[in-house]
Structure 1
């Protein structure tokens, strides 16, 4: 009887095992991300601050604020940068997650999918905290950083977080199996920053070009995020969260299928 009771107490469900794996990996990644490098927190905050400072300096020459309808330029750009960094880091951190955790695959409970999910969750949490710092700091400096529609802001932020997850899932498999893909993805970061309407509004683009630029889902999420902060903001023509979520869910589904299909090759790579 005692042996049977011990066996029952010692048995764990697959969900309990997975949850324990995620928790352990989350602590490992959090310590590595925030404490292994003494400058980790500094760069997370300094990078968007540096971008904003550079663009404010450029604005003094070209008066970029006149191109934004019903939204102050600096808060408009901060929201765009933070939303873009959320997507970018979800993709880039996911891309290196499998190779960075190869040693853990010796344990059968750990799958290549696990570090990608954990890294995305950690990165989203850190970026959300940094965004809150920017909102509080902007309000203290007198910037219009208080959201007019907090629910829309939260929904758009979660949507961008999910897009980063989808990209991370797909790229993690692709870049692990074909390393050259990782180099190409890294090179696309800066062009994507410009083509997503982060720094300058895409409304100034010709209509024929805008139709192609809006195939990129990132502007749809960023425009919705900005609309949540500035109620009277005029979003880019063609902005659609339905398109955004169809694209995002397709990416997540594709990424999960790729992990399922190539799980053995990912462990052996």
Structure 2
């Protein structure tokens, strides 16, 4: 039966157009991220390595191994840092995505949400590769960095990736419309590293303070990621992936709604 409403022969579907746009932007971002900046790879590996070295250097003063139940201190910290950097970079890279690709908005197929999603996907891919390098290097050095529960570890890693995307979507709009927001977020990234339980276990803090700190979804994802690596690890009290996913999905939904609502203003920036 002839369907008068069918698409013209050879015409591409909206999904095919979007996929082509994402692929072209991904290749553009990947070349720019890995080739134009010769120090890019160095800093991705050196930053967590330097923090680990610093904490190992002062471990004798804080008795690090005695602070964490059923998990070696150095692998515990490496896993936490890698998970945190995945979220942080997803958020920070999203902030400059719209302004960095504003010239592409002259093409009607390209929308402000596209560079944010593509940058987050690229950043997550690179961070996953760097994490695998650390795991391989740690195993060669005799560190306990092989996950006891690979399914849980991978699920938590992907969940943290999703949180980074949600944060990136929200802050990309907020920082583009109000530039001061971007400055505030960059300033808070270091305190967030400390308050997310990356460098020391949050269980050591008073219960009243812990209740407020656990409103931050990042510790929930990090503790679950650590549980995937250290099966007998005692996670921070109140860790809940249900809460984590409620926040993550809400941020992703809010970010997409903000992009729809302010699409014209974002393109005009």
Q: TM-score, normalised by structure 2?
A: 0.97
Inter-partner Cα distance in structure 1 for 2:135 and 2:214: 27
Q: Output aligned runs, 1:1-269, within 5 Å.
A: 8-269=8-269
| 3-state secondary structure, aligned to 2:15 | helix
SS at match of 2:89: helix
Moved over 2 A (4+): 7-10
1:8 positional shift: 4.5
The Cα RMSD (Å) is: 0.9
- CA shift, 1:84, in A, is 0.1
Shift of 1:62: 1.6
Paired residues, what number?
263
Q: 1:172-191 CA deviation, whole Å, 9 max, x = no partner?
A: 00000000000000000000
Separation in 2, partners of 1:35, 1:69: 42
How much does 1:11 deviate?
1.3
Which has the higher mean CA deviation after the structures are superposed, 53-62 or 98-107?
53-62
Offset of residue 9 of structure 1? 4.8
Q: Deviations over 1:96-144 (max 9, x none)?
A: 1000000000000000000000000000000000000000000000000
User: How much does 1:233 deviate?
Assistant: 0.1
**Gaps (5+ residues) in structure 2?**
1-6
- Equivalent-residue separation in structure 2 for 1:122 and 1:9 (angstroms): 34
Deviations 1:9-38 (A, max 9, x none): 541111111000000000000000000011
Structure 1 length normalisation: TM-score?
0.97
SS in 1 for 2:108: coil
CA shift, 1:63, in A, is 1.2
Could you tell me how far apart the structure 1 residues matched to 2:70 and 2:89 are?
A: 29
CA distance in structure 1 between the aligned counterparts of 2:60 and 2:211, rounded to whole angstroms: 30
